[in-house]
Chain A
């Protein structure tokens, strides 16, 4: 079926199989491999992106459902050489190690601050519950988000 999706500011008209997941469309059709797949039960959040400004796990959506939508992935955050403040915060707070959960974590963190610009530590921890990380123990991820919110 034919879909039209704007990804990171660029419009794509594609013909996809109806069963194609949005994450597979982004990775394999568009070649944007920054978005990762970490599970098959929508538990880990590695595939988190923004669809029409809201964070979403791209493994829980069909590509067809994104028809007409505006999508942002990790590749679409930086403006030229200038990183998004959340990317910068992750770098400055050592909020990543192996990097696999990172794109999804950054996208989820931005979504969290969009909804609650002034979160407590507990708000951040609960807000990121659906994004799993095995390396950092979450400590520096939480610090990154609080720092980006201007609370550190």
Chain B
């Protein structure tokens, strides 16, 4: 297990505590709560959804639905008295939780059906008849922008949120590039993708003595509690959100959705506990989507490769409601537009636009992959135009190593960085020189299997979402076991293991005697959840700090028991016991102290750790692909990733995060895209049609380690949850283009499918 006696456990490859349970009986996900007493006899909820993308609703007929077998009740927005609620980001945009006067995307819930079984609910949903007056549907942001047909009439425009309205400057004119000898521009599609956690959304509710209990598959119980309380007209204390095991989130389970928010109301109406679980086909159209930006990049500089000016215009697709996706462009993409480069002049404007598509949310990386993709694509285009090696152009423009905060011209302050070192590390690990030689050989011979090499260097922002800090509480019980309470919310990240490592390091209590409590708002009322790669640097750091403070508290108790001065008490971590300095033979265990402290409220300590700023992980990736020039088919041969997340707590978990991130980033570059037809009908609405990446489409991932600790927290740790996604997408896309750039191809939009690559080769021939 890598535990060294007398040494620190931190930094070791510690196997996960949670695994035996997952491997032998499986996790307990929300749909597995068959034994939960409060849910005995629960009825099921099914939502009838819009089958059209944009229409006025003339009437909703549920007369047949009410008579279907097993149906307990059927509700429309009018039946429930639902009123349109204004959006947080733009109050002129408002909707009801069940569509009432208008539907705005395929999949929008319209009718709630309560039935004895799930199957009966699905059958009943088929009988709902909605009379629609069809309106033009927009799946293309520029068409939505140009049209006088508005998705939300009261908003006055389909452009609903703009960075200029936040006080950020608009573009200046052509003089912005006047000092540049070379200027290149390109319109880039950072396509819409589906987060696809393996577990879809699910929830269950029960009213207990006027309190609502809601089980929810979520990344942030405390945040959801506040929203659910407001919807149900409750005080926060009248609602208990409980998080069972969660089968992946990737950002899409940060907030709550109308289907979950309505359950408490429905349960009260029918007087029954309720369960709801969407199908995968529902999930593909009603769980939020990610990315969905159209970017126009313009980059200019000198003939020898120095970038002087960079302009980025982002159109951010909100989908049909203003969820988190709306604000990712101004608050995440724009601040990171400079990437790892010292660019003297940057202009970035973002415009968020509503369309008749599924609303967009945060998805692994959330705005930073898009910023990185834009600047990295721009760098490649600039290099190609100059005929320079993309590595040389990057090297010429990298921000030099810094260990004091550095502020880019767009106004974002980074903590620490050593970008060139990460680039050097991947070049060496990949043997870049040899790869280029192999590529030259294949080009010279006219091989139909061409080699492509893609490089990306990135920096991202983690722990940048409020609250800037986290709660932790550590309690030692009378049997010597400890319970750690955390405001973070693991769903695959391994907090049971990591937080136990941190608490064990401070207290000496063995990891197998430390349990973790999270995601239950009665037990952990305050917490920031798990998102934006914040957990270790804030939640873990809080556990580390509160554990240390608990040791100090315990020393006071030990001093009393041992009749000594508090200053003379030492903790022998190897034996998890306290003694007076110099006399280890007489000691008190944690259990002894817990018993002694019982009359005074027990041996427990908790509090909030705050941090001053986010952290900025960085790194470099090299992707190597082979492209069949006759068919356009791409094979991803190698992926070398150097992701510097500061001081590493558990390399096993760190690598797991990188692997997963690289796979999702590669999926966007090569395969995955949510697509609609011209009428706004989704055509990738299940896992047979959506090109979810599989093992067969990926190589093993070569991880190169690098640690540049941050000063922001005591652990020196930065986030690692999203880095792999951010670094990989541009590297893989770039590799595909690089494989055929000698044929005259300078850009291929993602996903770089065989069809797109083949078409690009054919167009270049003309």
Q: What residues make up the interface of A, taking CB atoms closer than 8 Å to B? A: 27-28, 31, 33-44, 46, 74-75, 77-78, 83, 87, 90-92, 94, 96-103, 106, 121, 124-126, 128-143
Q: Is the CB of A83 within 8 A of B695?
A: no
Cα–Cα distance between A37 and B25 once the two chains are bound (Å): 15
**Measured CA separation A39–B247 after assembly (Å):** 13
17 contacts between A and B (CB under 8 A): A39-B686, A39-B687, A40-B279, A41-B688, A42-B688, A46-B198, A98-B248, A99-B18, A101-B198, A132-B198, A132-B694, A133-B695, A134-B198, A137-B660, A139-B663, A139-B701, A140-B659
- Give the distance in Å from the alpha carbon of A90 to the alpha carbon of B196 in the complex: 22
Is A34 in contact with B280, judged by CB distance below 8 angstroms?
A: no
- B255 proximal to A (CB < 8 A): no
> Are B701 and A99 interface neighbours, CB within 8 A?
no
Is there a chain A Cβ closer than 8 Å to B700's Cβ?
Answer: yes
Instruction: Assess whether B478 is interfacial by the CB under 8 Å rule.
Output: no
B28 within 8 A of A: yes
Residues of chain B lying within 8 A (CB to CB) of residue A132: 198, 687, 692, 694
From the candidates B32, B248, B250, B700, name the one contacting A142 in the complex (CB within 8 A).
B700
As a 0/1 sequence over residues 1 to 42 of chain B, the CB contacts with chain A under 8 angstroms (1 = contact) are 000000000000001101110111111110110110000000
B187 within 8 Å of A (CB atoms): no
Q: Which B residues between 482 and 497 are near A, CB-CB below 8 angstroms?
A: 491-494
The reply to whether A129 and B696 form a contact with Cβ atoms under 8 Å apart is: yes
Among B31, B659, B664, residue most surrounded by chain A Cβ atoms (within 10 Å) = B659
- CB of B97 closer than 8 Å to a CB of A: no
Is B653 located at the chain interface by the 8 A CB criterion? yes
- Choose from B32, B199, B663, B688 the contact partner of A137 (Cβ within 8 Å): B663
Contact check, B29 vs A136: say whether CB atoms are below 8 A apart. no
> Are A44 and B493 in touch, CB under 8 angstroms?
no
B20 touches A91 (CB 8 A): yes
> Does A41 contact B247, Cβ atoms closer than 8 Å?
no
B74 contacts partner chain A, Cβ-Cβ < 8 Å: no
Residues of A within 8 A of B16 (CB): 91, 94
User: Is B664 a contact of A102 with CB atoms below 8 Å?
Assistant: no
Tell me the smallest distance from the CB of B284 to a CB of chain A, in Å.
9
Does A129 contact B15, Cβ atoms closer than 8 Å? no
Cα distance A126–B490 when bound, in Å? 30
Measured CA separation A42–B281 after assembly (Å) = 12
CB pair A102–B26 under 8 Å, yes or no, is: yes
Tell me the nearest residue of chain B to A133, going by C-beta.
Answer: B198
Say yes or no: A135 contacts B23, CB within 8 Å: no
List B645-661 residues whose CB lies under 8 Å from chain A: 652-653, 655-656, 658-661
> At the interface, yes or no: B716 with Cβ under 8 Å from chain A?
no
B197 lies within 8 A of chain A by Cβ = yes
Q: Chain A residues with Cβ under 8 A from B371's Cβ?
A: none
Q: Which residues of B contact A31 (CB under 8 A)?
A: 34-35
A121 to B699: give the CA distance in the assembly, Å. Answer: 9
B248 and A135: CB pair below 8 A?
A: yes
Minimal beta-carbon separation of A104 from chain B (angstroms): 9
**Shortest distance between the CB of A136 and any CB in chain B (Å):** 5
* Distance in angstroms between the alpha carbons of A99 and B652 in the assembled complex: 16
User: Could you say which residues of chain A place their CB within 8 Å of the CB of B280?
Assistant: 38-41, 44
A-contact bits for B216-254, CB 8 A (1 contact / 0 none): 000000000000000000000000000001111010000
Q: Do A100 and B27 have beta carbons less than 8 Å apart?
A: yes
Residue among A34, A77, A101, A135 with most chain B CB within 10 A: A135
B662: interface (CB < 8 Å): yes
Question: With the chains together, A37 CA to B198 CA distance in Å?
Answer: 9
Contact B248 A125 (CB under 8 A): no
Q: When the two chains form their complex, are residues B246 and A97 in contact, meaning their CB atoms are under 8 A apart?
A: no
* A97 adjacent to B687 (CB under 8 Å): no
How far is it, in angstroms, between the C-alpha of A94 and the C-alpha of B29 when the chains are bound?
Answer: 20
Within 8 A of A (CB), among B679-705: 686-688, 692, 694-696, 698, 700-701
Which residues, 29 to 70 on B, are CB-close (under 8 Å) to A? Answer: 29, 31-32, 34-35
- Tell me, in angstroms, the Cα distance from A2 to B101 when the chains sit together: 49
Q: Which of A46, A98, A138 contacts B663 (CB 8 A)?
A: A138
Provide the residues of chain B in CB contact with A140, threshold 8 Å.
655-656, 659
Of B34, B199, B701, the contact of A98 (CB 8 Å cutoff): B199
* Residues on the B chain within 8 Å of A124, using CB: 695
Interface pair A125/B695, CB less than 8 Å apart: yes
Which residues from A are CB-within-8-Å of B653? 94
Q: Is the CB of B698 within 8 A of A99?
A: no
Question: CA–CA, A100 to B700, complex, Å?
Answer: 22
CA distance A139 to B687 in the complex (A): 21
Residue from A34, A128, A135 within 8 A of B695 (CB atoms): A128
- Binary CB contact string for chain B from 488 to 515 against chain A (1 if under 8 A, 0 otherwise): 0001111000000000000000000000
- Knowing that A33-B26, A33-B34, A43-B692 touch, tell me 12 more A-B residue pairs with CB under 8 angstroms: A27-B32, A44-B198, A74-B24, A94-B655, A98-B197, A99-B27, A125-B698, A128-B695, A128-B696, A132-B692, A140-B659, A142-B700
In the bound complex, residues from chain B placing their C-beta under 8 Å from that of A36 are 26, 29, 198-199, 247
Residues on B with beta carbons closer than 8 Å to the beta carbon of A37: 31
User: Could you tell me the distance between the alpha carbons of A62 and B332 in the complex, rounded to whole angstroms?
Assistant: 48
Q: In whole angstroms, how far apart are the Cα atoms of A83 and B19 in the complex?
A: 11
Question: Cβ of A40: which chain B residues have Cβ within 8 Å of it?
Answer: 279-281, 686
Give the residues in chain B near A121, CB-CB below 8 Å. Answer: 700
Distance of B705 from chain A, by nearest CB (Å): 15
A-B CB proximity, top 3 nearest: A34-B26, A100-B247, A137-B663
Give the distance in Å from the alpha carbon of A143 to the alpha carbon of B196 in the complex: 23
- Evaluate contact between B22 and A102: CB separation under 8 angstroms: yes
Chain A residue nearest to B283 (CB atoms) is A39
Q: Give the docked Cα–Cα distance between A43 and B692 (Å).
A: 10
Please report the C-alpha to C-alpha distance between residue A87 and residue B502 in the assembled complex, in whole angstroms. 27
A28–B34 touching, CB < 8 Å: yes
B222 to chain A, nearest CB (A): 20
Determine how close the nearest CB of chain A comes to the CB of B405; give it in whole angstroms: 33
CA–CA, A83 and B245, complex, Å: 21
Closest B residue to A43 using CB positions? B687
Residues of B166-203 at the interface with A, using a CB-CB cut-off of 8 Å, are 196-200
**Given known A-B contacts A94-B656, A129-B696, A100 and B248 have beta carbons under 8 A apart:** yes
